[in-house]
Every structure is written in structure tokens, then in C-alpha cells.
Amino acid sequence: MPAVRADKICKSFRGLFAKKEVLHQVSLSIEMGEVFGILGPNGAGKTTLVSIFSTLIRPDCGSLEILGRDAMKKTHAIRERINISSGNPNFPWSLTVRENLNHSAMLYGLYGRDLRRAVDEAVSAFELEPHADSKFETLSTGTKQRVSLAKSILNRPEILFLDEPTSGLDPDMAMKTRSLIKKIYQEQEITVVLTTHYMPEAEELCDRIAFLREGRLIALGSPGELKRALKIGDRIFVEYEGELDPTMLRIIPGVMEVRPSPGRVEIVFDRSERAVSRIIKAFEGADILDIGVDQPDLEDVFLELAR
């Protein structure tokens, strides 16, 4: 049973003068126990899709199953088994961290000993002990984000939705937040669905990625699968002395592009481990001075798909 199964999801919002379609027939399946990323440019529909998956808003058309249940008919039962954390957490500012978590725990039906245990575990998991009695309004951005993540595990969810979990955080705090997300995922064995604009974060955390553009799903797969599908190969840079015929490089199997310049050539290959020996053979009339390999990352995929 998939954690999420969406079929032809559509969503529009009515503005002052016209109706704007935000999602157009998005179909995908998220497996239990995976970390699934939803990427795309601003306005692509990422937050809207996560809001639909987390039952905060309803789609205009299409079908949606969460944990095997119809999301339109079994909303309350689904909400007991999922949770969400936003990149812009909003809690009652005059309440302390512990008071906010107690309040959230009660909303999930926890009372007495179960409530105290859940809150204590959440405070400990996100290292919030020094801030437990501090009012929310006095906290730093990073600490507020940790409070939001702590709230999101109170009911031990089977699916955790994270919308821009490191938005606005400095690099050190963003790294700590990613470590905490990994810790939750590994220790509680839950499904994680996240949106992010930070490509290294997606590459580090996600098993598979869905890419949205203008409300449409245009790519789906693991980071490696997306790179291969888009023919974003490894780049090999060779510095040399002597004569070189670039056409000899272009006919090598697996070569996607050759960019020659005086004394230097850049070759884009689909598989760098197969390329090195073939490159060396093609340089029989020249002396190789240096070779470097630059592997593509998810940011290359993002830029290609965004275009």
C-alpha cells in the first residue's frame, strides 16, 4: 500500500479578475518508508500539493488516497496518522515552548501521562530543554523551526509533511535541522514528504523527487535517474600539449558534447568511469597534462527542468 496515491489532482484559486489553475492533473505514488521530495520554481504548486496531501485543502478534481484511505471521505482518521511542519511556524507567541507543545498534544487527543511523555520526548529530540520555559516570541528563527518539528512528531505520525523545513535558517542551523530530519526518519521509520528550494538538501535527503513546473508534473525519479534521463553527464576536463582532433572525441560512445579550447577540452559523458580510458586513447598525438572530473548535481537537474 502506498503512503500517498494521487490521480489527476487539479486545483485552482479564484483571484479578483480570473481563476488561476495551480495544479493540473498531477498523478504520483509515494511509497511507505521513503523520503520523497517535491521540487520546482516559485509558483510551481509545491505548497499547494503538500497542503492537499496533508488534507488542509481539497482538490477540485481527481482522487487521493492517504495510507489507503480516501482523503475526501476519511479526513479526520487520516489526520490522526499524519503531521506537518511549515518553514514559517506560527504558534501563540505568549505561550512558552512547553505550553505550545502541550496544547498541540491535546489537539491530537493526548492527555495525562501520554501527553507528558510525548512532549518530553519531543523536547529532548530537538534539544529544546534550554528553551522549554521561554515564550515563543523570544525564540530565534532556528529555534522556532525546531519547535515546529517537535510539534510534528507528537502523535508519532506515519507520514510527515515538511514544507521548506530549512527556509530562512543560517547554514549551520539548516545542517542541524537536516540531521534532525534524518534522525526522525531513521528512528521512527516514517514516510517523509518535503518541499525545498535547496538542491543539496534534496539530494542529501530524498530517495525520489517529483518536479513541478507551472502546476504540472514534468519529471519523477531518483536524483540519479533524473540526471540520466536529462542526459546531464559527468564533465571531464583535459589539459594537454600537442595536436588534438576534437572529432575523434565526438565519435567516442557515450560522448554527449565536446567543448574545445586552446590546450584544453571539456567532454560531457554519460558515464565517466567508462570515459577515461577512451579519452586517453584519443590523445595519442598529444601529451595529457591534467585530467579533472566534475560530476553533475541536483542543481543542474533543477535548472534544466526549470527551463
Q: What is the per-residue pLDDT across 54-76, written as a single tens digit (0 to 9) for each?
A: 999 999 999 999 999 999 999 99
The more confident residue out of 284 and 95 is 95
* Mean pLDDT on 28-55: 94
DSSP, res 160? E
- pLDDT score of 183: 83
- pLDDT score of 276: 72
- The total of other beta-carbon atoms located within 10 Å of residue 205's CB is 19
- pLDDT score of 21: 92
Q: Does the pLDDT of residue 227 top 80, yes or no?
A: no
DSSP, res 143? H
Q: What is the pLDDT of residues 183-202, one digit of tens each?
A: 888 887 899 999 988 888 88
Instruction: Identify the sign of the CA torsion 165, 171, 176, 182.
Output: positive
Q: Candidates 1.10.1660, 3.30.70, 3.30.1380, 4.10.640; correct CATH number of 233-297?
A: 3.30.70
CATH superfamily to which 4-227 belongs: P-loop containing nucleotide triphosphate hydrolases (3.40.50.300)
The more confident residue out of 18 and 3 is 3
Rounded Cα gap, residues 64 and 49, in angstroms: 11
- In contact, 70 and 116? CB cutoff 8 Å: no
Q: Where are the domains of the chain?
A: 4-227, 233-297
* Mean pLDDT on 233-240: 83
Region of poorest pLDDT, from 8-22, 194-208, 266-280:
266-280
Q: Tell me whether domains 4-227 and 233-297 share a fold.
A: no
**Is residue 207 very low, low, confident or very high in pLDDT (cuts 50, 70, 90)?**
very high
Q: Does the pLDDT of residue 248 top 90, yes or no?
A: no
- pLDDT score of 200: 83
Phi, psi of 43 (to 5 degrees): 80, 10
Burial of 133 per CB tally in 10 Å (0-12, 13-18, 19+): exposed
* Mean pLDDT on 266-278: 72
The more confident residue out of 249 and 195 is 195
